[in-house]
């Protein structure tokens, strides 16, 4: 069925006879596999008598050959379907020397922060996890999600997305609509040796979706054209490499001004919650350590932590 999907990825009509000949199976077997393909991958097919079958929308599928040539120094694991790329990267840790990268065509249990679901339709978006090793350097963890956010921001702008901004600590927005998110997961002791999975989800070619409980958009919706997911992935790897290298050398201070300049909610009235308590304040920016600065009751307060959630005050 993987071969069948790749044959149909161009979005054009292909006859059952043609598909059967290319796959070495009968036309009836093609029909059965098409039905199974819709069930397992969730793709939508059109069929027209005399023309054959096509996908409702073309897909840009990942190519191991392209990525290997474009990123010759990157250890890459490309999967068809995983529960989540972050979980897969952590499971591979005993067998593959970091740094390495895991990408997938689809996730069955994609995750965002605080256990939220990350909707992951087959072949439409970028599901990306890079695992890195950090030795005795807590400073390399400082504001890491904000640094990754800048790498994603640069990648989105390179892809033609205008008006994209950063939401503390790990989302990217176009206006009020989410286009990408970051999930960092740590394994080990930050004071000794630890590994960090940098998980990135980018809405690339998604046009419709069920199960998303907030406003969202995609590169395709913003630009009006199909995104080459291989180019997008390669651009993200290159942007991350540059940002992580500078972060190792100079820390978040090297990015502070750029992050502040691209802060989507600067000056906005927000609600900050940790699941129990709630604080209302006006966003002043971030510190050189990456913590959030809020004006609260006439004074300035600073907040940091992985379980904090930030919302606009008027957003229910």
178 carries an active-site annotation: yes
Residues 6+ apart with CB under 8 A from 266: 260, 283, 284, 285
113 carries an active-site annotation: yes
What is d(CA 163, CA 18) in angstroms, rounded to the nearest whole number? 44
- Catalytic annotation, pick one of 113, 167, 229, 293: 113
- Catalytic annotation, pick one of 27, 177, 271, 311: 311
Instruction: State whether residue 314 is helix, strand or coil.
Output: coil
What is d(CA 103, CA 68) in angstroms, rounded to the nearest whole number? 13
Q: Are strands 177-188 and 299-303 parallel, antiparallel or unpaired?
A: unpaired
**Alpha helices, H only, the chain:** 2-8, 16-23, 27-41, 64-70, 85-92, 144-158, 219-223, 229-250, 256-261
- Catalytic annotation, pick one of 178, 220, 229, 293: 178
69 carries an active-site annotation: no
What is d(CA 215, CA 168) in angstroms, rounded to the nearest whole number? 17
Residues 6+ apart with CB under 8 A from 76: 64, 67, 68, 100, 101, 102, 103
- Which residue numbers are catalytic? 113, 178, 311
């Amino acid at each position: 069925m993987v071969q069948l999907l790749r044959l149909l990825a161009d979005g054009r009509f292909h006859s059952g006879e043609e598909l059967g000949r290319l796959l070495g199976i009968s036309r009836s077997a093609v029909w059965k596999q098409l039905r199974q393909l819709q069930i397992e991958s969730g793709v939508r097919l059109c069929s027209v008598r005399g023309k054959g079958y096509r996908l409702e929308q073309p897909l840009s599928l990942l190519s191991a050959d392209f990525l290997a040539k474009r990123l010759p120094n990157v250890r890459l694991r490309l999967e068809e379907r995983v529960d989540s790329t972050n979980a897969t990267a952590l499971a591979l840790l005993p067998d593959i020397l970091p740094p390495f990268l895991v990408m997938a065509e689809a996730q069955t249990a994609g995750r965002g922060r605080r256990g939220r679901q990350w909707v992951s339709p087959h072949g439409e978006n970028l599901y990306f996890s890079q695992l890195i090793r950090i030795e005795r350097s807590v400073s390399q963890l400082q504001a890491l999600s904000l640094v990754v956010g800048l790498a994603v921001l640069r990648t989105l702008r390179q892809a033609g997305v205008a008006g994209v901004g950063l939401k503390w600590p790990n989302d990217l927005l176009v206006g009020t609509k989410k286009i990408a998110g970051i999930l960092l997961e740590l394994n080990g002791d930050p004071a000794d040796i630890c590994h960090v999975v940098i998980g990135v989800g980018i809405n690339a070619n998604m046009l419709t979706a069920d199960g998303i409980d907030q406003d969202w958009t995609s590169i395709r919706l913003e630009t009006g054209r199909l995104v080459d997911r291989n180019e997008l992935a390669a651009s993200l790897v290159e942007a991350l490499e540059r940002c992580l290298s500078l972060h190792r050398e100079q820390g978040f201070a090297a990015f502070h001004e750029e992050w502040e300049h691209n802060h989507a909610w600067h000056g906005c009235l927000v609600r900050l919650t940790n699941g129990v308590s709630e604080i209302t304040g006006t966003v002043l920016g971030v510190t050189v350590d990456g913590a959030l600065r809020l004006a609260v009751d006439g004074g300035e307060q600073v907040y940091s932590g992985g379980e904090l959630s930030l919302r606009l005050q008027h957003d229910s």
